[in-house]
Chains A and B, each alone.
Chain A
Amino acid sequence: EAGVAQSPRYKIIEKRQSVAFWCNPISGHATLYWYQQILGQGPKLLIQFQNNGVVDDSQLPKDRFSAERLKGVDSTLKIQPAKLEDSAVYLCASSLVGTVWTEAFFGQGTRLTVV
């Protein structure tokens, strides 16, 4: 079974530029999460999708971050414009369904450096 796929693996951009990350979840997984992990910290949930609907985006900085999950499969996360403090690893995870018994599996992540 293929895992969660993310691209690109690394990205370096200048502040005020825009960037997009892509995620393909495990086949059949209805729930998709985007996390931001700053060095030395635990992952922080940015947005959670159930199929193509948003379940929680309370910690997504909506003035600069956006995410979509068209057709309930692939998802993209965009930052526009980027700030220095956006430097982090962006992790995508998926789970079969969002319940209290959910086991979530992570992709390799995208390491973003904003200079």
Chain B
Amino acid sequence: QKEVEQNSGPLSVPEGAIASLNCTYSDRVSQSFFWYRQYSGKSPELIMSIYSNGDKEDGRFTAQLNKASQYVSLLIRDSQPSDSATYLCAGVYSGTYKYIFGTGTRLKVLA
């Protein structure tokens, strides 16, 4: 099993809908997670971090962490075409604290 796994997509949603992005992780990854957004040709930009079991909301974004099932998700409400990007899930590796990224999920918001 990869340490952090994501479905590569693309995930297509209509404008105004909720986009749901998921990420699973292995036992070797500690339970701090970060969501990055990466536009084509640009570097990753941090949008959310979550450390505790449950939900964390920031504007249109909600991160959810379920430690028992070892998954973390990102919900984007009222999706806009400008949200079209690749979303990267990152976890912190237990011990050395290195950042491990998933492959990213490409999101397309259709106008």
A interface, CB within 8 angstroms of B: 31, 33, 35, 40-45, 48, 55-56, 89, 91, 93, 98-109
Q: A91-B43, A100-B30, A105-B46 are in contact. Are A43 and B97 (CB under 8 A)?
A: no
A55→B97 contact, CB < 8 A: yes
- Name B's interface SS: strand
Number of A-B contacts (CB under 8 A): 69
- 7 nearest A-B residue pairs (beta carbon): A98-B97, A42-B101, A106-B43, A100-B32, A42-B103, A56-B96, A43-B101
**Least distance between A106 CB and chain B CB atoms (Å):** 4
Subset of 18 A-B contacts with CB under 8 Å: A31-B97, A33-B99, A35-B101, A42-B102, A43-B88, A44-B101, A48-B96, A48-B98, A48-B99, A55-B97, A55-B98, A56-B98, A93-B99, A99-B92, A100-B30, A100-B31, A102-B99, A104-B99
Q: A100-B30, A101-B51 are in contact. Are A106 and B44 (CB under 8 A)?
A: yes
B92→A102 contact, CB < 8 A: yes
Interface 1/0s, chain B 13-57, versus A by CB < 8 A?
000000000000000001110100000001111100101000000
State how many residues of chain B have any CB contact under 8 Å with chain A. Answer: 27
